[in-house]
Amino acid sequence: MMKAKNILALLLGAATVLVSGFSWAADELVIYSGRKDKFVEPVMEKFTEQTGIKVLLHSGKSTALLNKMKIEGARTQADLYLSNDAGNLQKGAEFGLFKSLDEALVKDIPASLRGSDNSWVGLSARARVLVVSKNARDLDWVKSVFDLADPRLKGRLGITHSANESYIAGVTVYMESVGEARTKAWLEGMKANVDGSVFNKHSKIVKAVATGQKDVGLVNHYYIYRHLAKDANAPIAIRLPDQDGMGVAWNVAGVALSKYSKKQALAEKFIAFMVSEQGQKIFAEANNEYPTRPGVVAAAAVPAAGSYKVADVPMVKLGQKRDATIDLIEAVGMP
């Protein structure tokens, strides 16, 4: 079993990539992007079309790219850091890698979805939900993420490995909401139910539920809709957990301005576009996530924002408490 910290250490090693291969123009922004290109490119293209500012995406895992920026320091060519996880954004702020943004630039995004010092701003949100099989007729009792620890789900549950960034973020929300003792008991129950068999991707969990290999899984909401977009008749459904209690765990993808960027004015134009109504709509529709700017409607397929209860945990906590979360995950020995 490879522990979460060991995986992070490997990512740190992978982050020592040479930067000499880069060349960039004065009117071009370099973005270290932890999101897949296909989810970023639509909004990048519209930004370039409207401003004439070109964007060069250097894509990879969010944690690896953050560690790369830390190693590079003042040598980095990154003007902006785009992460799929608030935990990494907050860690970058704690490392002193980012420059705080002017309040006027990010004021339209709720304070709970950005850094407390505006060192980063959330751009789109995702929900931790349950994907359930329509063919499993005895799952009505599963209403909470904590029900996933019930022995009745032994061999029937799908979860990712414990180094997954969304997994870690979700555990942090649960620990902040109900405390360490209950969260530990939940992890121990899930560990027994999966018996060492975990998935390396959320999409594989959804597929496993759709094909009858598993009956229920814990995933980010958009993976369900991506699967249904390819197979509208798949026997799966979304279940929003904990509506009688803490609510659904959220996480955000977001962006930060590199402290060492020589193109701050251009970078701020990019951020301004990303938090604008137009930028928010394009970005969220591309990835089936929720716009962080109130009033911008999410993709029609997903449950409407505001139609369900969300856990009251500020996104900065996902970074501030990440080490404690990883310690708990390792203490339990989650695969």
What is the Cα–Cα distance from 189 to 154, expressed in whole angstroms?
9
Structure token digits, residue 47 = 């930004």
HSE-CB of 77 using CA atoms within 13 angstroms: 17
Structure token digits, residue 175 = 């620990």
pLDDT in tens, 52-108: 999 999 999 999 999 999 999 999 999 999 999 999 999 999 999 999 999 999 999
Can you tell me whether residue 199 is helix, strand or coil?
strand
Domains 4-124+252-302 and 126-249+325-332 share a fold: yes
Helix axes 86-94, 322-332, angle to 10 degrees: 120
Q: Output the CA angle 46-50-55, nearest 5 degrees.
A: 60
> Which superfamily does 4-124+252-302 belong to?
Periplasmic binding protein-like II (3.40.190.10)
Residue ranges per structural domain of the chain: 4-124+252-302, 126-249+325-332
Q: Which residues make beta-bridge pairs with 128?
A: 220
Structure token digits, residue 173 = 């929300």
Pairing of strands 98-99, 121-133: unpaired
Structure token digits, residue 138 = 């005895």
What is the Cα–Cα distance from 172 to 319, expressed in whole angstroms?
9
Dihedral of alpha carbons 29, 33, 38, 42, sign: negative
pLDDT band at 15 (very low <50, low <70, confident <90, very high): very low
What is the Cα–Cα distance from 70 to 335, expressed in whole angstroms?
28
Q: Where are the beta strands (DSSP E) in 200-249?
A: 216-220, 236-239
Confidence (pLDDT) at 28: 95
pLDDT in tens, 94-150: 999 999 999 999 999 999 999 999 999 999 999 999 999 999 989 999 999 999 999
0.75 exceeded by the pTM?
yes
Q: Which residues make beta-bridge pairs with 130?
A: 218, 239
pLDDT in tens, 315-327: 999 999 999 999 9
Q: Enter the CATH code of domain 126-249+325-332.
A: 3.40.190.10
Comparing CA positions, the residue from 175, 146, 195, 177 lying closest to residue 328 is 175
